[in-house]
Structure 1
Amino acid sequence: MAVDELDTRILRLLIEQPRTSVREYARVLGVARGTVQARIDRLERDGVITATGPVLSPAALGHPVLAFVHVEVTQGHLDEVGDALAAVPEIVEAFSITGGGDLLTRVVARDAGHLEDVIQRLIQLPGVVRTRTEIALRERVPHRMLPLVESMSRGGGAERRPGGR
């Protein structure tokens, strides 16, 4: 979906000031409240805005260890293993991937021993062949979307057509 400058300005406000009212966004942007609300509604409907809840810190919740666990799965069991991963609360994300492994999970833990316990649970799941774990040392670039959105509104993310303009 293409975003224009006003969409980008609205998204910036939503990211930087998530508890502000639509009326206040409209005042800051210098546009009508109805315009801002209609844009937000469209961005939600088009799937650009997917959530409005708080972002939680696993570390602040007592799980400061972050690891990426690659999971190799027996052929034909990807869906079953994926469903089983959803039952492990320490797995905060999981993706099907190409390359070395079938699934990549983001796992949080209280400490190294707890991480080992989680990995042992994964290894025991039916259909899991093996795992490979990488522990994150420090976050270098936090999860972010605003630079991407801003590059798109400047034309940096526009689709290029072969031989076209």
Structure 2
Amino acid sequence: MVLDEFDRGILAILQRDNLTSQRTIGEAVNLSAPAVQRRIKKMTEAGIIQANVAIVDPTALGHAITIFVEVEIISETSGQIEAAKREFETMPEVQQCYYVTGEADFVLVILVPSMPAYEALTKKLFFGNNNVKKFRTFVAMDRIKVGLQVPTA
């Protein structure tokens, strides 16, 4: 699907607030509400709009610590990489997981309520995994910007 300026305008608004009414979006991008609705449906069916979610403050739910972890694995066979992806994907503490180039094989963003909880998670995810060579932990001291908006321009 090729996105035009109307689609990009709609996406820019939805990324800021997906509860914006279609009438308000239409006024902002100079389309009717039914045209906006059709375009949103088409972008959803094409997989461009992947989900409509609420972004929640993790501290409000008791997960005050954000940790970034670089993970280096021992064996980089296709099967081992896929197994690592599946394991990281199933852990609720792992908010984001990226398979990357460079010294590390994966970069994880993890939310935990405490350092003892992170220690328990490391025993399960890293020390208990025969394919993890090493991992490096970076603890966030402050959340400056948390954005999930993809540039539409």
Q: TM-score when scaled to structure 1?
A: 0.77
Residue of structure 1 aligned with 2:118, choices 109, 112, 115: 115
2: distance between equivalents of 1:95 and 1:109? 18
Residue of structure 2 aligned with 1:136, choices 129, 140, 146: 140
Deviation at 1:119, TM superposition (A): 1.6
2: distance between equivalents of 1:40 and 1:5? 13
For the Cα contact (< 8 Å) 1:71–1:102, is it kept in 2?
A: yes
For the Cα contact (< 8 Å) 2:68–2:140, is it kept in 1?
A: yes
Unaligned 5+ runs, structure 2: none
Say whether residues 1:92 and 2:95 are aligned partners: yes
Say whether residues 1:5 and 2:23 are aligned partners: no
Unaligned 5+ runs, structure 1: 153-165
For the Cα contact (< 8 Å) 1:62–1:110, is it kept in 2?
A: yes
Query: Which AA in structure 1 matches 2:51?
Result: A
Q: How many residues align?
A: 149
In structure 2, the partner of 1:56 is 56
In structure 1, the partner of 2:65 is 65
For the Cα contact (< 8 Å) 1:74–1:127, is it kept in 2?
A: yes
SS in 2 for 1:71: strand
Say whether residues 1:126 and 2:130 are aligned partners: yes
Query: Which AA in structure 2 matches 1:31?
Result: L
**Percentage of matched positions with identical amino acids:** 25
In structure 1, the partner of 2:42 is 42
1:70-106 deviations in Å (ceiling 9; x for gaps): 1111212221122222332211111111112111111
2: distance between equivalents of 1:119 and 1:39? 44
Q: Which has the higher helix share?
A: 2
For the Cα contact (< 8 Å) 2:72–2:106, is it kept in 1?
A: yes
2: distance between equivalents of 1:28 and 1:143? 22
Q: Which structure has the larger Rg over C-alpha atoms?
A: 1
1:35-76 deviations in Å (ceiling 9; x for gaps): 111221232233321111212332221111011111111212
